[in-house]
Amino acid sequence: MQERNIVVTDRNKKMGEKTMKILIIGGVAAGTKTAAKLKREDRSAEVTVITKDRDISYAGCGLPYYVGGLIENREELIVNTPAKYAGLTGVEVKTGKEAIALCADKKEVIVKDVETGAEEAYGYDKLVLTVGASPAKLPIEGTDLSGVFQMRTPDDAENIRSYVEENQVKKAVVIGAGFIGLEVAENLKAKGIQVTVIDFASQILPNIVDAEVAVYAKKHLLKEGIRVITGTKADAIMGNDHVTGVKTSAGLLRCELLIMAAGIRPNTDFLQDSGLEMFKGTILVDKTMKTNLEDVYAAGDCVMVTNRITGKPQWSPMGSSANLEGRTLAQVLTGTKKEYPGVLGTGVVKLPNLNIGRTGLTEEQAKNAGYDVVTVVAPTDDKAHYYPDAGFFITKLIADRESHKLLGVQVLGNGAVDKMVDIAVMGINMGAVLEDFENADFAYAPPFSTAIHPFVQAVYILLNKINGNLVSMTPAEYAAGKAKDYKVVDVGLTPSIRGAVYVNLSQVNGEIEGLDKEEKLLLVCAKGKRGYFLQNRLRSYGYKNTVVLEGAQFFNDVKVQHAENAVSPEEETRVKALGFLRDKTTLDKFNGRVITRNGKITADEARTIAEAAELFGSGEVTMTSRLTMEIQGVPFDNIEPLREYLMQAGLETGGTGSKVRPVVSCKGTTCQYGLIDTFGLSEEIHERFFHGYANVKLPHKFKIAVGGCPNNCVKPDLNDLGIIGQRIPQVDMEKCRGCKICRVEKNCPINVAKVVDGKIVIDENSCNHCGRCIGKCPFNAFEDYTNGYRIYIGGRWGKKVAQGRYLEKVFTDKEEVLSVVEKAILLFREQGITGERFADTVARIGFENVQEQLLGDELLSRKEENIKAQKHLKGGATC
């Protein structure tokens, strides 16, 4: 070790002194938990916590939600301040102190003051290393650019949130599709930012869930508007002073914000020459959390513990296990005979409208551990199906075929997936086999669960599979092409699989005409139950080769090869909601509407649309009157592949149904007459109301147009709501000379500017505020002006035409304009009658009434109950 100028503090243990001096390096989860429990177990212990950061005991797992605004104040993330923690526990806390070397032979840690650089040696009787881990810094150019962040501390979260607000960030890229990366993506999306997540692995949540579960979750994220690209490497971060994009193996991804969440690495570099036994940066410990060095222990994100099922080493950097390890270690240090039993890798993540939880081994991990693995994928209700807000669980159970021992679980759902995971955790901890769950008396009431608990239902299905009562095909096997030689049998309540043989379960009382007893039959229903019932019935009638598809249509994209029959009305309605309208000259071809936000797309997006048209459609693209691009001639079976192809590029289909429609915009300030940035405003409206209100049903379609001037190119006054740029002249009458030929009068396009009695006069009630008069007076009487917005409501064209009327106020604040847009949508939902257009609503309740509501705040105060109300379930739009 190099020579250092060191001040030695009076912390070395003296002969005969009974007080145990414990030094803890690191003050977040494991460190503070160890210290607090130590003082509770032994008040005489002298416990000191040293940490480099100014914060201790902060909620690292809550950081993404602070960025998204769900957690409003930074203080809410700080569980304890150093002073408060010291007062509660009696632990001495020293912040701003960085451990830089361990001298185990001297029982000293060399510590540097981060502000002054001064070094000193801290002695100890027992040393606890809880140094945690930090985000891995990518070895690429550009990581130091402004707008590039990591996500580990409250300072990181605060800096990201400030940067987003100060720079009005519109596009972000998150590198890393693990828990933190996906949580950050969700919260950025909630702030109206377009988010792309990339990961070098072939799936999201690598080593956390199995591939088929990851595929389902990825498709869900794409549908929610979060672009996800897997199998993609970041090569360089682009920009001069600030980030402008990321160069990847999938091309250039433009962004104004980049979050690096591609894994973490233990903060153990300073321990490399200490003699400490480590593996890939993690500290190796035994079951008492002791290292190979005398009186040196470790816990938390920096240690390698054991897997509770396999007994093999596992790195599991989670806040939950860090706390458990710290508590156990404190008891060990104070003389309790106790061991830390290891981890299961339990985790849960919240995504937009989907939660994912897991514990134990994945299928792949279980196979690698030598188990004879058997699995099942089981969709179930999460509570009584008739109860309001009932949702679903998709549960994958992993077990050992011979012993029936439960090895792992993965659960997806829009509700409490954690309770499903927690049942599995307790079962695995107790060494449970599947039969132990068969008659488990779990809590039941319609608001909470189903009569037979969803976990128990999944166990029943897996036991049926093991016992041979159920012969099934897993989603992974189906995706790999195992069903190639099978005839698909649709066992749904109604026919829903195009090209499949439909069988009405309730009418099966013997052999089925058209189904051979020897041929391979794949039985598919909505969730799997009816398929199992049919298999059971067919078996008694001599059918030998029936297989039920696990997860059924709920989890799998089921297609019949070479299906040529017409699309059912139900399927036609379903894909219409996705933006695909059937070409009436064909049986199964559709025209898919690609949303362009406001009629403006990038060259990359245009190329993607053209490629998609060639790959999945006829190769032709048309423009609609709403400035969406429509890919022509898409066969029904190509709809989902086309949508996924577009979503990978950040594009989406849609623009139909009784909801807020895509915004149309003129060219705004790129036109010689444009007064406002229509592209910018319409993009904000698109994010706030087309996306933000995507799931809100209205009485009918609601169309919005933004025009840059009163020339009315995109007909704002013939939309349900229209916004027109205004330029209001501020006339300086003292400068008016009353010219015989007035240039202002001559240039007024609608002839409302008149010279009367030697002075220019403009009729305010007739002026349309086009701004053409500005700068025309040679004596500068028309130099000053105010930019603003005029809002029209109640227009429409089509079968019936209605001219919209403008609100009496000319708005000068863009946020106020956006607020009026939202209030108009809320008013239409609350007071409109299903099937009527907004123009009808305005006419029925009166323009003055509507105007008064739009200029007030009552509609916003009722927003939450309005959105939650079960209204307009059908809607009136037919296209």
CATH number at residue 834: 3.30.413.10
Q: Which residue has the tokens 């099934």?
A: 472
| 155 pLDDT above the threshold of 50 | yes
Q: Is residue 343 part of a domain?
A: no
Least confident of 82-86, 237-241, 331-335, 409-413: 82-86
Helices (H), 251-316: none
707 and 846 part of one domain:
yes
Evaluate the CA torsion angle 831, 833, 834, 837 in order and state its sign: negative
Domain match, 80 and 186 both:
no
Residue 358's CATH number? 3.30.390.30
User: Is the model's pLDDT at 1 over the cut of 70?
Assistant: no
- Cα–Cα dist 224/251, whole Å: 23
* Pair (817, 686) in one structural domain: yes
Q: Which of 218, 234, 262 is the last residue of a domain?
A: 262
Q: Is the pLDDT of residue 223 over 90?
A: no
- Note the pLDDT tens digit of each residue in 297-345: 999 999 999 999 999 999 999 889 999 999 999 999 999 999 999 999 9
19 lies in some domain? yes
- For residues 118 and 255, state if they share a domain: no
Judgement on whether residues 23 and 119 belong to the same structural domain of the protein: yes
Looking at residue 727, its pLDDT comes to 92
| Domain match, 369 and 416 both | yes
Radius of gyration of the chain (CA): 33
Q: Which one is catalytic: 61, 103, 671, 739?
A: 61
Residue 342 lies in a domain: no
**Per-residue model confidence (pLDDT) at position 236:** 93
Q: What is the per-residue pLDDT for 597?
A: 81
| 575: CATH | 3.30.70
Three-class SS of residue 71?
A: coil
User: pLDDT digit string (tens) for 463-520?
Assistant: 999 999 999 999 999 999 999 999 999 999 988 888 899 999 999 999 998 899 999 9
What does the block give as tokens for 36? Answer: 């607090």
Give yes or no: residues 608 and 592 share one domain: yes
Task: Report whether pLDDT(16) > 60.
Answer: no
The pLDDT value given to residue 10: 44
Q: For the segment 728-760, what is each residue's pLDDT rounded down to a tens digit?
A: 999 999 999 989 899 999 989 999 999 998 899
* Mean pLDDT within 405-426: 96
Q: Please say whether the beta carbons of 427 and 364 come within 8 A.
A: no
Q: Assign residue 175 the CATH number of its domain.
A: 3.50.50.60
654 is a domain residue: no
Q: Is residue 339 assigned to a domain?
A: no
Q: Decide: helix, strand or coil at residue 223.
A: helix
* Same structural domain, 692 and 743: no
Stretch 281-292: mean pLDDT: 95
Q: How far is CA 395 from CA 221, 273, 379, 524, in A?
A: 19, 47, 6, 18
Same domain, yes or no: 457 and 536: no
CA distances from residue 18 to 12, 50, 290, 715, 801 in whole angstroms, order as listed: 13, 22, 22, 87, 92
Let me know if residue 523 belongs to a domain: yes
Count the helices and strands in the chain (H runs, E runs): 23, 46
* Overall domain count for the chain: 7
**Residue 107: which pLDDT band, with cuts at 50, 70 and 90?**
very high
CATH number at residue 516: 3.40.250.10
Tell me 418's DSSP state. H
In the listed set 435, 469, 503, which residue is the last one of a domain according to the structure?
469
Average pLDDT, the chain: 91
The residue out of 416, 444, 469 marking a domain boundary is: 469
Same domain, 119 and 146: no
Residue 393 lies in a domain: yes
In a domain, 371, yes or no: yes
Q: Structural domain of residue 539, as residue ranges? A: 473-555
Same domain, residue pair 12 and 62 = yes
Please tell me whether residue 632 adopts helix, strand or coil conformation. strand
Quick one: pLDDT at residue 59? 67
For 683-699, how does the pLDDT look when each residue is reduced to its tens digit (9 = 90+)? 899 989 998 898 899 99
Has 61 been annotated as catalytic?
Answer: yes
Structure token pair of residue 406: 């439960």
pLDDT tens, residue by residue, 3-12:
455 544 444 4
> Do 24 and 128 lie in a common domain?
yes
Q: What does pTM read for this prediction?
A: 0.81
